[in-house]
Amino acid sequence: MNPREEKVKIITEEFIENDEDADMERQKKNPKVRRQPRKKQPPTAVRKEMVSEKSHLGNQQEPVQEEPKTCLLSMTARRGPQSLPPIPSTSRTGFAEFSMRGRMREKLQAARSKAESALLQEIPTPWPRRLRSPSKKELETEFGTEPGKEVESTQQEIDSQSHSRVKFHDSARKIKPKPQVPPGFPSAEEAYNFFTFNFDPEPEESEKKPKARHREGTNLEQEEGEEEPPAHGGGKETDEEELLNGDDAEDFLLGLDHMADDFVAVRPADYESIHDRLQMEREMLFIPSRQTVPTYKKLPENVQPRFLEDEGLYTGVRPEVSRTNQNIMENRLLVQDPERRWFGDDGRILALPNPIKPFPSRLPVETQELSIKAELETMYKKAVKYVHSSQHVIRSGDPPGNFQLDIDISGLLFTHHPCFSREHVLAAKLAQLYDQYLARHQRNKAKFLTEKLQALRNAVQTGLDPEKPHQSLDTIQKTINDYKSEIRQTRKLRDAEQEKDRTLLKTIIKVWKEMKSLREFQRFTNTPLKLVLRKEKGDQKADEEAYEAEIQVEISELLEEHTEEYTQKMEEYRTSLQQWKAWRKAQRAKKKKRKQAAEEHSYDETEEPHPEEDLVKPIPPEPTDRAVIEQEVRERATQSRRRPGEPMLVPELSLAGSITPNNQCPRAEVLRREDVKKRSLYLKVLFNNKEVSRTVTRPLGADFRVHFGQIFNLQIVNWPESLALQVYETIGHSGPTLLAEVFLPVPETTVVAGRAPIEEVEFSSNQHVTLDHEGVGSGVPFSFEADGSNQLILMTSGKVSHSVAWAIGENGIPLIPPLSQQNIGFRSALKRADAISSIGTSGLTDMKKLAKWAAESKLDPNDPNNAPLMQLISVATSGESYVPDFFRLEQLQQEFNFVSDQELSRSKRFRLLLLRSQEVPEFRNYKQIPVYDREIMEKVFQDYEKRLRDRNVIETKEHIDTHRAMVAKYLQQVRESVINRFLIAKQHFLLADMIVEEEVPNISILGLSLFKLAEQKRPLRPRRKGRKKVTAQNLSDGDIKLLVNIVRAYDIPVRKPAVSKFQQPSRSSRMFSEKHAASPSTHSPNHNADYPLGQVSVRPFVEVSFQRTVCHTTTAEGPNPSWNEELELPFRAPNGDYSTASLQSVKDVVFINIFDEVLHDVLEDDRERGSGIHTRIERHWLGCVKIPFSTIYFQARIDGTFKIDIPPVLLGYSKEQNMILERGFDSVRNLSEGSYITLFITIEPQLVPGESVQEKFESQEDEKLLQASEKFQAECAFKFPNRQCLTTVIDINGKTVFITRYLKPLNPPEELLNVYPNNLQATAELVARYVSLIPFLPDTVSFAGICDLWSTSDQFLDLLAGDEEEHAVLLCNYFLSLGKKAWLVMGNAIPEGPTAYVLTWEQGHYLIWNPCSGHFYGQFDTFCPLKNVGCLIGPDNIWFNIQRYDSPLRINFDVTKPKLWKSFFSRSLPYPGLSSVQPEELIYQRSDKAAAAELQDRIEKILKEKIMDWRPRHLTRWNRYCTSTLRHFLPLLEKSQGEDVEDDHRAELLKQLGDYRFSGFPLHMPYSEVKPLIDAVYSTGVHNIDVPNVEFALAVYIHPYPKNVLSVWIYVASLIRNR
Amino acid sequence: MMTASPSVFLLMVNGQVESAQFPEYDDLFCKYCFVYGQDWVPTAGLEEGISQITSKSQDVRQALVWNLPIDVTFKSTNPYGWPQIVLSVYGPDVFGNDVVRGYGAVHVPFSPGRHKRTIPMFVPESTSILQKFTSWFMGRRPEYTDPKVVAQGEGREVTRVRSQGFVTLLFNVVTKDMRKLGYDTGPADTQGVSGPSPPQGFPQ
Distance CA A172, CA A147 (A): 12
CB A1372 within 8 A of CB A1383: yes
Distance CA A798, CA A705 (A): 9
Q: Which own/partner contact pairs does A564-570 have at CB distance under 8 Å and 24+ positions apart?
A: A565/A624, A566/A621, A566/A623, A566/A624, A569/A621, A570/A620, A570/A621
B38 and A925 within 8 Å at the Cβ level: the answer is yes
A928 and B76 within 8 Å at the Cβ level: the answer is yes
Distance CA A1199, CA A1238 (A): 8
Q: Which residue, among A609, A616, A611, has the nearest Cα to A583 in the 3D structure?
A: A616
Q: Which of residues 32-91 of B touch A (CB under 8 A)?
A: 38-41, 76-78, 80
Distance CA B150, CA A897 (A): 31
Band of pLDDT at residue A1315, cut at 50, 70 and 90: confident
Please indicate, yes or no, if residue B61 is contained in any of the structural domains.
Answer: yes
- Of B38, B143, B159, which is closest to A991 when you measure between CB atoms? B159
Crossing angle of helices A626-640 and A540-600, in 10° steps, is 140
Highest mean pLDDT among A8-17, A963-972, A1478-1487, B18-27: B18-27
Distance CA A287, CA A1247 (A): 72
Band of pLDDT at residue A1073, cut at 50, 70 and 90: very low
ipTM of the modeled complex: 0.80
CB A57 within 8 A of CB A230: no
Chain A hits for B135, CB-CB cut-off 8 Å, are 997-998
Distance CA A1489, CA A1497 (A): 12
Using the Cα atoms of residue A1279, residue A1283, residue A1284 and residue A1286 in order, give the sign of their dihedral: negative
Evaluate the omega torsion of the peptide bond into residue B124 and state whether it is cis, within 30 degrees of 0.
Answer: no
Distance CA A1454, CA A1458 (A): 9
Residue A1532's Cβ-count burial label (10 Å; 0-12, 13-18, 19+) is middle
- Of A928, A1000, A1031, which is closest to B130 when you measure between CB atoms? A1000
Q: What's CA A504's distance to the chain center, in Å?
A: 70
Distance CA A576, CA A617 (A): 8
Please indicate, yes or no, if residue B84 is contained in any of the structural domains.
Answer: yes
Band of pLDDT at residue A776, cut at 50, 70 and 90: confident
A995 and B159 within 8 Å at the Cβ level: the answer is yes
Asked if A1013 has any chain B CB less than 8 Å from its own CB, the reply is no
* Cα–Cα separations (whole angstroms), residue A1598 to A368, A405, A1370, A1499: 65, 85, 23, 10
Evaluate the omega torsion of the peptide bond into residue A1134 and state whether it is cis, within 30 degrees of 0.
Answer: no
Q: Which residue, among A1357, A1353, A1351, has the nearest Cα to A1376 in the 3D structure?
A: A1353
Side-chain-side CA neighbours of A7 within 13 Å: the count stands at 25
Please indicate, yes or no, if residue B4 is contained in any of the structural domains.
Answer: no
Comparing alpha-carbon positions, the chain B residue that sits nearest to A936 is: B7
Bridge pairing between strands A1605-1617 and B48-50: unpaired
For A1579-1596, what is the mean pLDDT? Answer: 80
* pLDDT at position A447: 79
Please indicate, yes or no, if residue B1 is contained in any of the structural domains.
Answer: no
pLDDT at A809 over 60: yes
- Of A930, A935, A998, which is closest to B134 when you measure between CB atoms? A998
Band of pLDDT at residue A1556, cut at 50, 70 and 90: confident
For B118-133, what is the mean pLDDT? Answer: 90
Backbone angles phi, psi at A1297, to 5 degrees: -130, 140
Distance CA A1536, CA A1564 (A): 12
* pLDDT at position A369: 53
For A526-538, what is the mean pLDDT? Answer: 74
Band of pLDDT at residue A1151, cut at 50, 70 and 90: confident
B38 and A991 within 8 Å at the Cβ level: the answer is no
B77 and A929 within 8 Å at the Cβ level: the answer is yes
B78 and A996 within 8 Å at the Cβ level: the answer is no
- Of B76, B134, B142, which is closest to A1000 when you measure between CB atoms? B134
Alpha helices per DSSP H over A337-377: 369-376
SS3 A119: helix
pLDDT at B139 over 80: yes
* pLDDT at position A898: 73
For B167-181, what is the mean pLDDT? Answer: 91
Distance CA A758, CA A383 (A): 41
Chain B hits for A1033, CB-CB cut-off 8 Å, are 146
Chain B hits for A990, CB-CB cut-off 8 Å, are 158
Q: Please give the share of chain A, as a percent, with pLDDT higher than 70.
A: 61
Asked if B97 has any chain A CB less than 8 Å from its own CB, the reply is no
Backbone angles phi, psi at A1354, to 5 degrees: -70, -40
Distance CA A707, CA A704 (A): 10
pLDDT at A974 over 50: yes
Q: Which of residues 1030-1069 of A touch B (CB under 8 A)?
A: 1031, 1033-1034
* Cα–Cα separations (whole angstroms), residue B19 to A591, A970, B57, B107, B166: 142, 60, 11, 18, 8
Domain that residue B61 falls in? 9-181
* Cα–Cα separations (whole angstroms), residue A127 to A124, A146, A950: 9, 12, 109
pLDDT at A1067 over 50: no
Asked if A439 has any chain B CB less than 8 Å from its own CB, the reply is no
pLDDT at A518 over 50: yes
* pLDDT at position A1080: 36
More confident residue, A509 or A119: A509
For A398-403, what is the mean pLDDT? Answer: 55
Band of pLDDT at residue A263, cut at 50, 70 and 90: low
SS3 A826: helix
Distance CA A1128, CA A1137 (A): 21
Asked if B14 has any chain A CB less than 8 Å from its own CB, the reply is no
Q: What is the value of pTM for the model shown?
A: 0.46
A930 and B77 within 8 Å at the Cβ level: the answer is yes
Q: Which residue, among A1539, A1521, A1530, A1520, has the nearest Cα to A1496 in the 3D structure?
A: A1530
Q: How far is B145 from chain A (nearest CA, A)?
A: 5
Q: Which of residues 158-197 of B touch A (CB under 8 A)?
A: 158-159, 181
The torsion of the CA quartet A1353, A1356, A1357, A1362, rounded to 10 degrees, works out to: -130
* pLDDT at position A268: 75
Distance CA A1142, CA A1131 (A): 13
Asked if B7 has any chain A CB less than 8 Å from its own CB, the reply is yes
Chain B hits for A987, CB-CB cut-off 8 Å, are 154-155
pLDDT at A486 over 60: yes
Using the Cα atoms of residue A1444, residue A1446, residue A1447 and residue A1451 in order, give the sign of their dihedral: positive
Question: pLDDT digits over A413-436, tens only?
Answer: 888 887 777 777 888 888 888 888
Distance CA A255, CA A148 (A): 17
A925 and B158 within 8 Å at the Cβ level: the answer is no
Question: pLDDT digits over A698-750, tens only?
Answer: 887 777 788 888 888 877 776 777 788 888 888 777 777 888 888 887 777 66
pLDDT at B163 over 80: yes
A994 and B130 within 8 Å at the Cβ level: the answer is no
Please indicate, yes or no, if residue B190 is contained in any of the structural domains.
Answer: no
A191: left (phi over 0), alpha (psi -120 to 50) or beta: alpha
- Of A925, A996, A997, which is closest to B127 when you measure between CB atoms? A997
For A464-472, what is the mean pLDDT? Answer: 54
Asked if B156 has any chain A CB less than 8 Å from its own CB, the reply is yes
Q: What's CA A243's distance to the chain center, in Å?
A: 76
- Of B127, B144, B203, which is closest to A932 when you measure between CB atoms? B203
Asked if A997 has any chain B CB less than 8 Å from its own CB, the reply is yes
* pLDDT at position A1160: 73
pLDDT at A141 over 70: no
For A1297-1301, what is the mean pLDDT? Answer: 85
More confident residue, A1547 or A74: A1547
Average pLDDT value over all residues in chain A: 70
Please indicate, yes or no, if residue B198 is contained in any of the structural domains.
Answer: no
Q: How far is B135 from chain A (nearest CA, A)?
A: 7
Band of pLDDT at residue A535, cut at 50, 70 and 90: confident
Crossing angle of helices A100-122 and A71-82, in 10° steps, is 10
3-class SS string, chain B: CCCCCCCCEEEEEEEEEEEEECCCCCCEEEEEEEECCCCEEEEEECCEEECCCECCCCCCCCCEEEEEEEEEEEEECCCCCCCEEEEEEEEECCCCCEEEEEEEEEECCCCCEEEEEEEEEEEECCCCHHHHHHHHHHCCCCEECCHHHHHCCCCHHHCCEEEEEEEEEEEEEEEECCCCCCCCCCCHHHHHHHCCCCCCCCCC
Q: How far is B159 from chain A (nearest CA, A)?
A: 6
Band of pLDDT at residue A686, cut at 50, 70 and 90: confident
CB A241 within 8 A of CB A249: yes
Asked if B128 has any chain A CB less than 8 Å from its own CB, the reply is yes
Please indicate, yes or no, if residue B153 is contained in any of the structural domains.
Answer: yes
Which residues, including other chains, have CB under 8 Å from residue A186's CB and lie 6 or more apart?
Answer: A58, A62, A194, A209, A212, A213, A216, A220
Helices (H) and strands (E) in chain A, counts: 51, 40
Question: pLDDT digits over A117-132, tens only?
Answer: 555 554 444 444 444 4
* CATH number, position B99: 2.60.40.150
CB neighbours of residue A1069 within 10 Å: 13
More confident residue, A1071 or A1250: A1250
* pLDDT at position A797: 82
Q: Give the 3-state secondary structure percentages of chain A, helix then strand then coil, rounded to 5.
A: 45, 15, 35
Using the Cα atoms of residue A860, residue A866, residue A869 and residue A873 in order, give the sign of their dihedral: positive
Instruction: Please name the amino acid found at residue A1156.
Output: D
Please indicate, yes or no, if residue B3 is contained in any of the structural domains.
Answer: no
Question: pLDDT digits over A567-626, tens only?
Answer: 888 888 888 888 888 888 888 888 777 777 665 555 444 444 444 455 566 677 676 677
- Of B138, B143, B203, which is closest to A996 when you measure between CB atoms? B143
Q: What's CA A1227's distance to the chain center, in Å?
A: 69
Domain count, chain B: 1
Comparing alpha-carbon positions, the chain A residue that sits nearest to B9 is: A931
